Structure 1
Amino acid sequence: MHAWPASEVPALPGQGRDLRIHDTATGGLVTLDPGPVARIYVCGITPYDATHLGHAATYNAFDLVQRVWLDTKRQVHYVQNVTDVDDPLLERAERDGVDWVALAEKETALFREDMTALRMLPPQHYIGAVEAIPGIVPLVERLREIGAAYELEGDIYFSVESDPHFGQVSNLDAAAMRLLSAERGGDPDRPGKKNPLDPMLWMAAREGEPSWDGGTLGRGRPGWHIECVAIALDHLGMGFDVQGGGSDLAFPHHEMGASHAQVLTGEFPMAKAYVHAGMVALHGEKMSKSKGNLVFVSKLRRDGVDPAAIRLALLSHHYRADWEWTDQVLQDAVARLARWRSAVSRPDGPPAGTLVEEIREALSNDLDAPAALAAVDRWAARQEQDGGTDTGAPGVVTRAVDALLGVAL
């Protein structure tokens, strides 16, 4: 599966700062110090209802992570999956009377278009669950061989008790885990499971549903968590720098994935930091596919909204915050974009060297994008009020905003 084209990232004078970011597993800020190549895995979409602003906010956060790393003169090895076979996708295809493969391909193509418009840097490896199946099957077989998996009516489950570190990503108690498991794709009430929290690794073929040859596992399809584990281990290995996604993935998805990988390899942890973006609401409720209260990037673009304004709207909220999309949020972003473009359109302006460092400082401090925007606002206000004589300043600001914030002026 191919990703989307990369926009050029301008080089800035000097060098960026190492990133301090909130780690869900420890509950505090950690300073990431990758080697020459920083490694990040971000969980991708299940391709229906793409791309809503909740998606966009999440991928914007991890785009900033990449930009901070690139500014430190590191390379970035970024991997993202597409869950192109799963119960919700099949249910949507059945509801709409369309082929599930066609639905997945259509929505993935739309996602690519939106990511391109928003100037999100693409992953080096963009892998669908279906194409990952040949690598998934041996992992499930291995887990069964070492006693970390068991069969139940043809389905294969992972035993969470096989991982002594289980629970150390989300740090939730058993009751909270059970509740979230039921809400987020698990089956804690299924009779016969060794532990209600045990997640499915391999679902035996069901009549009328797609299935693949699973070798000794029989025909079927992979569970949700093992999909990402197979892709991450194949392309990044253990101990990569950041495992990212929305806050609703901390449990069960990232918790279970970490346990799968740790039992398979005998190494801990799977990732150095588990980083989660907040949720976006509309009319007082979190945007969700089940509720249908979604605002789509493609619809905004069709309505003539500049993608740079959409991106500024996302950047105006701290990535970990839960926030609400309103018409005012968009209007403020459109106005900010106009002010910035007016400010850099002049032949000279106030010196901007300190501005670059202000943006770097803000982003290195747990991706504080609102503080970075405020710094640019201050420079634009000085430009509007007093102007300046530095002929290089508008170009410096334009390149810094592009390189570090992904906004084209």
Structure 2
Amino acid sequence: MLKVFNTLTRTKEEFKPLTEGKVRMYVCGPTVYNYIHIGNARSAIAFDTIRRYLEYRGYDVTYVSNFTDVDDKMINQARADGITVGELADKYINAFMADTGALNIEPATVNPRATENIPEIIAFIAKLIENGYAYEVNGDVYYRAKKFAHYGELSDQNIAELETGASQHVNDEELAVKEDPIDFALWKAQKLSDEISWESPWGQGRPGWHIECSVMSTKYLGETFDIHGGGQDLQFPHHENEIAQSEAKTGKKFVNYWLHNGFVTVGQNDEKMSKSLGNFVTVHELLQHVDARSLRFFMASTQYRRPIRYTEENLVEAGNVLQRMQNTLDDIAYRLNDSTTSVSSPNLATRLDAALEQFTTVMDDDFNVQNGLTVVYGMLRHINQEITKAQVDKEQLTRFVTEFKKIMLIFGIEFKDQDTHLDAQVADLLWQRDAARDEKNFAKSDEIREQLKEMGIVIEDTPQGTRWKRIDD
């Protein structure tokens, strides 16, 4: 039974999708004015891992993740770069696709852009005004936060405290026009003539940040859907405001399960990585010198709600673990192709059955990937012992490889198959070396080893015979 931690209720709950066998899921995407840093990538990887596990469990997942392609940061950056907001957005959306593709993040079912949904946004805001939840002032439209009875519940915040905090951070001009300091913008009037804008019932302007996700999530997933995800920093105000907007318009529950991933931290003080703090590393930069699979595995191997401490050492260790996994798969490939007769091993079959069941059990506990990997590592240790035996159960080894690859795909990791093809010259040299070893002619054996090495082939002598590997594998 799958259980997930619901941020709204602060408890683990049994996961029951609205439609049996189907999951509708929305995850907040990036504001595309720069390359994503690994804090952004953490969210994309965490929810891709969750999506992949849901698919592994047999669910049909509709996964929607947006691009915020118009806001103050976009306007300021485009102005600084001397290009349009649209050109800026296209550049960094393409970069996002390239970076997430390198990290083997599955493409979303839909990647809607705010600027492609302006008519829907305007209609949504008009309905909020009609329902009494929003009001217009000088071309701006604000949401009456206090009117929504459940405001503050997602982030577990007190309205009075929110009001006091907001009054200290809102400028005098906004305070003068807002009915309440905690009211937030749904539509922003055009301030300068070069600002991107659209015609609306309230004049030229553009949408606020929060409204776009309410519009696009409900457009593609329905007025109520299963899972909404994002970083912990989005709980307030972004997700809080999404709930208020959406439920005020529809009168229905917006989302059944709220999931939030932990931060990526850096440095001795474990500071949150963010662009505002200037302590971030972009994925684009990192992939110039770091193996993408190692970065993906490092980020995916921590349970989504826990923080991740980013260090170069952790990336190296992730790469080492993946190499050990690849070595085991290569060893299995040799045993499956050797000349020994396969034997039946009921004990191995039973162990594999138990491991697969245990993996599902621990992963069903709020996607506990660390415990899931503990099961995988235990099975790998046992397999490594099995393949050293004189005879092996080739059927069960084949089954292990199939199930192992399915599991590792949950983490976004794919493994290459061992190249077992040899040209005639290399095959003949390997035969000559084996013959030399049988004749105790170790000088000739070593000479052939060096000749093979110059040809890009390294060899290893094992109890099951001579193994070879291409140096570039």
- TM-score of the pair, normalised by structure 2: 0.77
Q: Which runs of 5 or more structure 1 residues have no equivalent in the other structure?
A: 1-17
Shift of 1:134: 1.2
Mapped partners of 2:92, 2:51: distance in 1: 25
**Aligned counterpart, 1:19:** 2
Mapped partners of 1:181, 1:293: distance in 2: 27
Choose between structure 1 and 2: higher helix proportion.
2
The letter for the 2-side match of 1:356 is L
Change in 2 beyond 3 A, CA 1:45/1:192: same
Mapped partners of 1:43, 1:109: distance in 2: 17
**Aligned counterpart, 2:254:** 270
Matched, 1:209 2:209: no
1:122-165 Cα shifts (integer Å, max 9, x gaps)? 22111001001111001111111221111223210011123222
Larger radius of gyration: 2
The letter for the 2-side match of 1:61 is A
The letter for the 1-side match of 2:373 is L
The equivalent position to 2:281 in structure 1, one of 295, 314, 320, is 295
Change in 2 beyond 3 A, CA 1:96/1:354: farther
The letter for the 2-side match of 1:404 is I
The letter for the 1-side match of 2:186 is L
Shift of 1:405: 2.2
Matched, 1:321 2:321: no
The letter for the 2-side match of 1:80 is S
**Aligned counterpart, 1:4:** none
**Aligned counterpart, 2:402:** 396
Mapped partners of 1:276, 1:294: distance in 2: 20
Note if contact 1:83-1:128 (Cα within 8 Å) is conserved in structure 2.
Answer: yes
Mapped partners of 1:314, 1:179: distance in 2: 38
Single out whichever of 258-267 and 374-383 deviates more from structure 2.
374-383
**Aligned counterpart, 1:57:** 42
Matched, 1:254 2:236: no
Secondary structure of 1:125's aligned partner: coil
Shift of 1:316: 2.6
Mapped partners of 1:78, 1:178: distance in 2: 35
Shift of 1:179: 7.9
Mapped partners of 2:33, 2:71: distance in 1: 11
Q: Aligned-pair RMSD on alpha carbons?
A: 2.3
Mapped partners of 2:380, 2:211: distance in 1: 48
The letter for the 1-side match of 2:8 is A
Matched, 1:147 2:132: yes
Mapped partners of 1:179, 1:336: distance in 2: 50
Shift of 1:302: 1.9
Change in 2 beyond 3 A, CA 1:231/1:187: farther
Q: Which has the higher contact order (CA 8 A, sep 6+)?
A: 1
Shift of 1:96: 4.3
Change in 2 beyond 3 A, CA 1:152/1:98: same
The equivalent position to 2:324 in structure 1, one of 339, 342, 349, is 339
1:243-265 Cα shifts (integer Å, max 9, x gaps)? 11000011111110111010101
Change in 2 beyond 3 A, CA 1:121/1:309: same
Change in 2 beyond 3 A, CA 1:383/1:114: same
The equivalent position to 2:266 in structure 1, one of 262, 269, 282, is 282
Shift of 1:98: 4.2
Secondary structure of 2:397's aligned partner: coil
**Percent of aligned positions that are identical:** 31
Mapped partners of 2:294, 2:161: distance in 1: 38
Shift of 1:102: 2.0
Mapped partners of 1:181, 1:321: distance in 2: 29
**Aligned counterpart, 2:379:** 379
Mapped partners of 1:187, 1:366: distance in 2: 41
1:215-267 Cα shifts (integer Å, max 9, x gaps)? x1221000111101111111111221111100001111111011101010111
**Aligned counterpart, 1:119:** 104
**How many residues are treated as equivalent by the alignment?**
388
Matched, 1:360 2:360: yes
Note if contact 1:68-1:364 (Cα within 8 Å) is conserved in structure 2.
Answer: no
Note if contact 1:43-1:228 (Cα within 8 Å) is conserved in structure 2.
Answer: yes
Note if contact 2:303-2:367 (Cα within 8 Å) is conserved in structure 1.
Answer: yes
Mapped partners of 2:414, 2:162: distance in 1: 42
Shift of 1:359: 2.7
**1:11-160 map, 5 Å:** 18-34=1-17, 35=19, 36-160=21-145
Note if contact 2:299-2:308 (Cα within 8 Å) is conserved in structure 1.
Answer: no
Mapped partners of 2:205, 2:61: distance in 1: 35
Change in 2 beyond 3 A, CA 1:212/1:241: same
Mapped partners of 1:246, 1:310: distance in 2: 19
Secondary structure of 2:25's aligned partner: strand
The letter for the 1-side match of 2:139 is G
Shift of 1:186: 7.4
Mapped partners of 2:160, 2:73: distance in 1: 25
Change in 2 beyond 3 A, CA 1:79/1:334: same
Secondary structure of 1:141's aligned partner: helix
1:303-339 Cα shifts (integer Å, max 9, x gaps)? 1x33221111012322111232001110110111101
Note if contact 2:265-2:310 (Cα within 8 Å) is conserved in structure 1.
Answer: yes
Mapped partners of 1:291, 1:392: distance in 2: 49
Change in 2 beyond 3 A, CA 1:301/1:124: same
Change in 2 beyond 3 A, CA 1:144/1:281: same
Secondary structure of 2:186's aligned partner: strand
Shift of 1:177: 3.7
Secondary structure of 2:112's aligned partner: strand
The letter for the 2-side match of 1:27 is R
